[in-house]
Amino acid sequence: MSNTRIQTVIVDDEALARGMLREFLAAHADVEIVAECGNGFEAVKVVAEMRPDLLLLDIQMPKLDGFEVLELIGGDVTVVFVTAYDQYAIRAFEVHAVDYLLKPFSAERLAEALDRARARIAAKEKVPEGLVSAGRARHTPLERILIRDRADVHVIPVEKIDYLESQDDYVSVKTAGKSFLKEQTLAELETLLDQDVFVRIHRRYILNIARLSKIELAVKDNRIAILADGTKLPISRSGYARLKELLL
């Protein structure tokens, strides 16, 4: 490995925990702490602006948890989870974390994690596309959708969503007359949503059935969903069958 220093960000809502990490990391000359964050929103902003090599990331934090941070920042950063809770270990490795440090841990245990991080960084290994979403699939249904817009994060409760529209590898989330673009496929999001509330009515659309006002016949026996705000969405034959199952 070259002599380039590992730019590192510490993310933990407890100042004492951040201080302990600082103290342990001081023994590693190749590690440079470039920022400290007290919550997930700060972490997403810092990673977007600074593009560090390594994230030492707590899991249980206010506003955004560690898995939500990882979902938003993507796979370019090597992540070591640092937490007081052991129940997230399997999930952490599902999303390709390089290590999982259980508080309280020793300086030696942190050194082991850093060795693994160095190897990952040197190999320029990234998290495979879609792995974070796949790791979350067992923890459904979603209660909110997170959307990163540069360094900003929008948190949209699912009950506020009117419908979702596929736009290639993105999904347009429609809520209260606004649209937010999320980098994820409609098929991936469909697996994470409550199937009794969100219905795939068409290959391009998922509808929150609470927003459905009525269904109208169009030409050639095609059907159209009329939403409470007047929005019209096409309904496929298979989508109509799914709607009937839920509404009848």
Assess whether 118 and 167 both reside in one domain.
no
Task: Let me know if residue 1 belongs to a domain.
Answer: no
Number of structural domains the chain divides into: 2
Closest listed residue to residue 77, CA positions, set 100, 59, 95? 95
Mean pLDDT of 55-67: 91
- Identify the burial level of 173 via C-beta atoms within 10 angstroms of its C-beta, where 0-12 means exposed, 13-18 middle and 19 or more buried: buried
Assess whether 58 and 74 both reside in one domain.
yes
pLDDT of res. 99:
93
Task: Let me know if residue 225 belongs to a domain.
Answer: yes
Assess whether 65 and 112 both reside in one domain.
yes
Q: Would the pLDDT of 28 be above 90? A: yes
Single residue among 99, 133, 167 that ends a domain in this structure: 133
Angle of helix 15-25 relative to helix 107-122, nearest 10 degrees, comes to 70
pLDDT of res. 248:
72
Q: How far apart are CA 232 and CA 234, in angstroms?
A: 7
Assess whether 200 and 93 both reside in one domain.
no
pLDDT of res. 82:
95
Assess whether 147 and 231 both reside in one domain.
yes
Return the C-alpha torsion angle 147, 121, 26, 94, nearest 10.
Answer: 50
Assess whether 121 and 23 both reside in one domain.
yes
Assess whether 119 and 153 both reside in one domain.
no
Assess whether 226 and 107 both reside in one domain.
no
Closest listed residue to residue 98, CA positions, set 117, 77, 123? 117
Closest listed residue to residue 59, CA positions, set 35, 34, 31, 90? 90
| Long-range pairs for 203-209: beta carbons < 8 A, 24 or more residues apart | 203/166, 203/236, 204/165, 204/166, 204/234, 205/163, 205/164, 205/165, 205/166, 205/233, 205/234, 205/239, 206/163, 206/164, 207/163, 207/233, 208/158, 208/159, 208/161, 208/162, 208/163, 209/243, 209/246, 209/247
User: For residues 233 and 212, is the Cβ–Cβ distance under 8 A?
Assistant: no
Assess whether 171 and 129 both reside in one domain.
no
Single residue among 109, 133, 157 that ends a domain in this structure: 133
Task: Let me know if residue 202 belongs to a domain.
Answer: yes
Average pLDDT, the chain: 89
pLDDT digits (tens, 9 = 90+) for 190-206: 988 999 999 999 999 99
pLDDT digits (tens, 9 = 90+) for 115-166: 999 999 998 876 554 445 544 545 567 888 989 887 778 999 999 999 999 9
Q: How far apart are CA 29 and CA 117, in angstroms?
A: 15
Q: What is the pTM of this model?
A: 0.76
Residue 191 lies in domain: 140-247
- Give 97 or 165, the one with higher predicted confidence: 165
Q: Is residue 72 very low, low, confident or very high in pLDDT (cuts 50, 70, 90)?
A: confident
Question: Can you give the CATH number for the domain in which 61 is found?
Answer: 3.40.50.2300
pLDDT of res. 73:
86
pLDDT of res. 1:
42
